[in-house]
Structure 1
């Protein structure tokens, strides 16, 4: 997580993710959030319209769900205890359908409303006779009626709800602006005058509907991420009963410890541990890796993975709701309900801006009246201020960047578990890597082959492979993958494994020993002096020493290129591990990491202490995958978990890379781009209001022009946010 996050585990225990049904815009979310914060026992709440989720936090006893549901129901919304992707999908479709129908009415009748209004504007040029102006103004109002009464009705309802909740926002301002435009226009018509502003109200509603439709299309991609993980997981499994019979059961009814059977072509519905059978599976849904993976007893298989070949029997390790795929969807839901520092800044600006706008509108009216301007024209100035200064762009400035950034990161195999990471990652100066499992595969490879006497390198390698063929030791596994072309098949024989020492292989009249030098000496073999590091295998045949094979840790293919790229970008790189000093220095030399930046034989507590001290000098990223990395991941400014990170590690990390560390540079680059776009959006939104409000106050901007300018500012923020989708150059 981000630094200074306190007790992460405790915070997670004191918060819950709920689904909010009925929201149709960002202002709905503001109203629900404000109401939830006022409920007894709630210490904080955050609601996000993009994913229909609410995060509720508490300090003491958990607030009763029923009371929260009753409170939210008073505003016209429904609160559910869990996030339902199907319900969210239906709600998204409903929102889009209603927006489209309202926009259709606004466009059709809005065009007819604008035609008489345009003729009125052209009247000074002699285009219309004076006696036709009032009927044209009346026609403009009649054509505006469907737009005002139907297309804009949602803005009025939400505006009223936010006022009730004590959190007036954008919809409240739209409601006031449309109401003022219609009242002033009706007053003008009643007095026999033709200066009406129905067209301004229509344009305000129409442009806001367009912005909402675009906003919905973009922001709803966030909830699609959750559905992408859950929608293809099957709902049924094949259960092996206590009597051994196979039956089809709903996945939701299966408990941990029960056994299921997975056949070729089927997708796994629950997390499980393979207890019988072998096969190959496609793990792309969770890992992004499209190459089939071989599976055997003892391996873990996660829900969402598809078995391509073979048949497996698994014991269930996680039931519905506790699967890794469920944890991932909850993390994304929590992400979408949290707010970054910039979002909180935006909320504060919006709260300040609303009274400023109302004061500015009153000032415009008062100034106009003091200058002797007629009351209707003075009221029009106040109307122009309210229309042009609607904080639409401000409300979109941060959420759009976060949502677009998250969608782009998912496409790169990067899961953003905390939106604050976008700000934290943009400030990083040092990157600390764990060693085993992060920079290396955890499986050694052959470094040197040293034969003795008449033995050749190939013969020694053949002897070692024949002897250790059935061994499960990591060194033996590395040995078996050494040659691209297979060696000759091993003769028949018997093998005896001595734990912690080596293996004896008897074949025909030959006796071969493979293992530690000390063990060979105990068997009467004369072994030259050497150091037993655990990274070499000594061999003897019929009592005579044959030579040794040295190993070193296998670097991940992407490790060298990733480190070089990060150094080129100016980051200080550190290696932090619990392994020996020699092993760490050897690896650092191959990666080009300076010896003074290598920290070895560190315990989890020492890792956390080092990260904490380094954080005082420069913002730090820690990249790891082991269970003992949790403290370091939580203590760093930005924690990145990679590969098959343990669940405890993943919970401590702000970013999860589904594949490997080559995504670290892209993560940092996307974060820097996101923060830049956030600041640009905020600057534009605040600067826009600072510029246009004084112009509207002094009467330089008419209401209809104000409606156009306000909508264009929102579109500018949207287009700028879409730059998050720009292709990331791999060399940057």
Structure 2
């Protein structure tokens, strides 16, 4: 346990927080928590959690109380006893019930569906005078009330919470606009002339209305609520994906384990020092040291490399990795939150917490726009009264100001463009998670690319066969495949896959970490490491030694094959570079970004790939923490960093990078931690993803400008009483239509403009 500068012991806690909607909520919660003496807090909007470091004398009740003072509810998460506990919480990125159906809760989807059902007839009746039957306004009142107060309750709840702390956000403007339209309409129906049976709306474009109390704006209140609710629904569906990265990581762990005495128990009951068994094909339950046995362990979750690591007594193994080819007895050295897998989950969580501070463009503008609109509306009412005009006329003008400023188009500007842009991206095999990815893609200085599964195919295959002593390549490969066919090792599978017909093998024997032997067509055949085969046959001829040396320098794994007393061939097995990797790097260079190869593989293999595809820099032999450090060091130097990867070992770096891009064939952890996923799996799509993101962001900015331009231009007319609130509502609607039409331009983004264009084809 650590101590602070005053010598007090520090504890750690995780709080689950409900009610946060934007980056300003995050800042407010952090500020309140950190007002407590000695407390440091990091709040993650994506998972709706706060990681808190606090002195031992600061109680959980004090932490919860501080969050409550900020206007939100919190609870301290109990220490998880099993991975399933983590999984349940993180299944939807914090509070999945905001979007998904959870028994006993009203979901955002439910509010949206019922809001649409109730609002459509209100909007039709309000905007089409010919359909306004006797008593239509009373029906509109009945239908609008639940839309505004029930469907729109998430906005109003946030508005009231923000108001207690002097904060004004988009939610504030939604509440003010919808309440103003509904309140005016309710007053006009109950106390004005709008409630008379048979009355219809006056159609006056400009100039004062003869009887302002004859107008109702139920359709404005209903339409704004539903459209903003739609935008929030789209936004939250994107945002909640972020927390799924932690679920994907934690699901890699084993759920139960066999102890040395044969009992099978839940993995959470393991303690440091316990001995447990790992059979071929099983997941290692927790970090430990091998006591007995030998096997090949797939550590791709840590290194990203497809070649397994051979382990024996004394070797360290990591929980979540997969053993093959042998039985292991392992002594647990770390359990629970101390394991390497839990550490990776914390790295991802911390990285996402930093990214969640990205401000929405609309929120930043609203911080200025909301108070300005309120001040203008109040001054309008006061000005009309001071000028001696009827209070009703002044109130009508003030309401027109609020309605014209109502953020229908503003609320749609980002989510609609994201929706269309991501739809186009899906056609191109590019899945964009949300607005943060678009902002991040605007200026990328350096692209860090993982090797295995990103620039290479991610699987072993035979790259070259060199023979000696009169053997033919096909014969050597066939005999090697025969003895390797009984092995589960990935290198063995690659050799077997390289031949059409595998001969029968007899008297097979495997030697973990060394090689295999068997009888093929009446002759003993040995395949494996050079030392293993040479020890059973004869020293390698010079030409085979040279070929083996060249293959090893290029990063390939060398398998020697011998029979009839002689070593007859060496087979180079490697992860083959993708055919389009060079083109991908060239396209990234054309975007103005430098490309760095960051891999857990050895320096020789990394350098060979780098030379072949033309990257600018190589960083080899790095583990997950090293990749994360590479991202942060370049960010500290003022560069905007994109990370491209496909493995669990890339998840933390993907989450921390300004732009995380996951290859579609990769792990769930990588996909969920990233901002963009390339479903087609081609590295060429990386540059296309950046270009599409930049175009989408440009459309968002255009939307935001015009969303304000249409409405702000009419505010002076509303102040002067020359703008019928109905026209204000129409202007608001038109700005929304414009935002949608402008966003639809993205549907044609990245279409090849000339022959040979290399943008991904729609599938």
TM-score range, shorter chain: 0.5 to 0.7
Deviations 1:255-283 (A, max 9, x none): 6887899999x999977999999xxxxxx
Alignment check: 8 A CA contact 2:188 2:213 kept: no
Q: How many Å separate the matches in 1 of 2:422 and 2:431? A: 8
Give, in angstroms, the shift of residue 353 of structure 1.
0.8
Match of 1:554 in 2: 575
1:99 to 2:116 alignment: no
1:37 to 2:22 alignment: no
1:730 to 2:760 alignment: yes
Deviations 1:61-120 (A, max 9, x none): 9975433422444677421335465993555441448736984896499589959x969x
1:593 to 2:614 alignment: yes
Cα 1:70/1:481, change in 2 over 3 Å: same
1:676 to 2:695 alignment: yes
Alignment check: 8 A CA contact 2:118 2:147 kept: yes
Match of 1:19 in 2: 16
Q: How many Å separate the matches in 2 of 1:497 and 1:152? A: 64
Cα 1:259/1:680, change in 2 over 3 Å: farther
Alignment check: 8 A CA contact 1:614 1:620 kept: yes
Q: How many Å separate the matches in 1 of 2:12 and 2:419? A: 22
RMSD: 7.1
Match of 1:162 in 2: 162
Cα 1:192/1:273, change in 2 over 3 Å: closer
Give, in angstroms, the shift of residue 351 of structure 1.
0.9
Instruction: Pick the aligned partner of 1:69 from 64, 67, 71.
Output: 64
Paired residue secondary structure (2:17): strand
Give, in angstroms, the shift of residue 354 of structure 1.
1.3
Alignment check: 8 A CA contact 1:521 1:527 kept: no
Q: How many Å separate the matches in 2 of 1:465 and 1:427? A: 50
Q: How many Å separate the matches in 1 of 2:374 and 2:723? A: 17
Where in structure 2 are there 5+ consecutive unaligned residues?
1-9, 78-88, 195-210, 294-300, 303-307, 552-557, 751-758
Q: How many Å separate the matches in 2 of 1:142 and 1:457? A: 83
Give, in angstroms, the shift of residue 159 of structure 1.
3.4
Give, in angstroms, the shift of residue 184 of structure 1.
6.5
Q: How many Å separate the matches in 1 of 2:236 and 2:661? A: 26
Give, in angstroms, the shift of residue 391 of structure 1.
3.5
Q: How many Å separate the matches in 2 of 1:613 and 1:330? A: 17
Paired residue secondary structure (2:95): helix
Instruction: Pick the aligned partner of 2:372 from 329, 332, 356.
Output: 356
Alignment check: 8 A CA contact 2:643 2:660 kept: yes
Matches within 5 A, 1:178-217: 195-196=211-212, 200-217=216-233
Paired residue secondary structure (2:393): helix
Alignment check: 8 A CA contact 2:518 2:525 kept: yes
Matches within 5 A, 1:27-176: 34=28, 36-39=30-33, 40-41=35-36, 48=45, 53-55=48-50, 65-73=60-68, 77-82=72-77, 83=89, 85=91, 88-90=95-97, 92=99, 93=101, 94-96=106-108, 99=111, 103=115, 107=119, 158-176=158-176
1:692 to 2:711 alignment: yes
Alignment check: 8 A CA contact 2:184 2:217 kept: no
Q: How many Å separate the matches in 1 of 2:154 and 2:380? A: 28
Give, in angstroms, the shift of residue 352 of structure 1.
0.8
Matches within 5 A, 1:87-486: 88-90=95-97, 92=99, 93=101, 94-96=106-108, 99=111, 103=115, 107=119, 158-177=158-177, 195-196=211-212, 200-222=216-238, 223=240, 240=258, 243-245=261-263, 331=348, 335=352, 338-339=355-356, 341=358, 343=359, 345-362=361-378, 364-365=380-381, 374-395=390-411, 397-398=413-414, 420-428=436-444, 431=447, 433=449, 435=451, 439-440=455-456, 441=458, 443=460, 445-452=462-469, 454-461=470-477, 479-486=495-502
Q: How many Å separate the matches in 2 of 1:146 and 1:658? A: 39
Paired residue secondary structure (2:549): coil
Q: How many Å separate the matches in 1 of 2:518 and 2:137? A: 103
Match of 1:9 in 2: none
Q: How many Å separate the matches in 1 of 2:69 and 2:731? A: 36
Match of 1:710 in 2: 732
Deviations 1:435-459 (A, max 9, x none): 567544574624133333x443344
Give, in angstroms, the shift of residue 551 of structure 1.
2.2
Q: How many Å separate the matches in 2 of 1:537 and 1:362? A: 83
Paired residue secondary structure (1:166): coil
Cα 1:486/1:621, change in 2 over 3 Å: same
Match of 2:85 in 1: none
Paired residue secondary structure (2:681): helix
Give, in angstroms, the shift of residue 388 of structure 1.
1.7
Cα 1:448/1:263, change in 2 over 3 Å: closer
Cα 1:137/1:171, change in 2 over 3 Å: same
Alignment check: 8 A CA contact 2:336 2:342 kept: no
Work out the number of aligned pairs and report it.
Answer: 680
Give, in angstroms, the shift of residue 694 of structure 1.
3.4
Instruction: Pick the aligned partner of 1:662 from 657, 681, 689.
Output: 681
Alignment check: 8 A CA contact 1:238 1:261 kept: no
Deviations 1:414-468 (A, max 9, x none): 998997554334434654545567544574624133333x443344445656788
Deviations 1:484-509 (A, max 9, x none): 321353577x899997xx99999999
Deviations 1:647-677 (A, max 9, x none): 9x979x9738999993544455344434433
Q: How many Å separate the matches in 2 of 1:153 and 1:635? A: 34
Q: How many Å separate the matches in 1 of 2:637 and 2:59? A: 41
TM-score, structure 2 as length reference: 0.62
Q: How many Å separate the matches in 1 of 2:655 and 2:147? A: 52
Match of 1:3 in 2: none
Match of 2:201 in 1: none
Alignment check: 8 A CA contact 2:507 2:519 kept: no
Give, in angstroms, the shift of residue 169 of structure 1.
3.0
Give, in angstroms, the shift of residue 160 of structure 1.
3.2
Give, in angstroms, the shift of residue 380 of structure 1.
1.7
Q: How many Å separate the matches in 2 of 1:191 and 1:464? A: 94
Q: How many Å separate the matches in 1 of 2:213 and 2:321? A: 57
1:515 to 2:530 alignment: yes
Cα 1:445/1:84, change in 2 over 3 Å: closer
Give, in angstroms, the shift of residue 206 of structure 1.
0.9
Alignment check: 8 A CA contact 1:607 1:632 kept: yes
Alignment check: 8 A CA contact 1:44 1:56 kept: yes
Where in structure 1 are there 5+ consecutive unaligned residues?
1-12, 129-134, 278-285, 288-293
Q: How many Å separate the matches in 2 of 1:479 and 1:640? A: 32
TM-score, structure 1 as length reference: 0.64
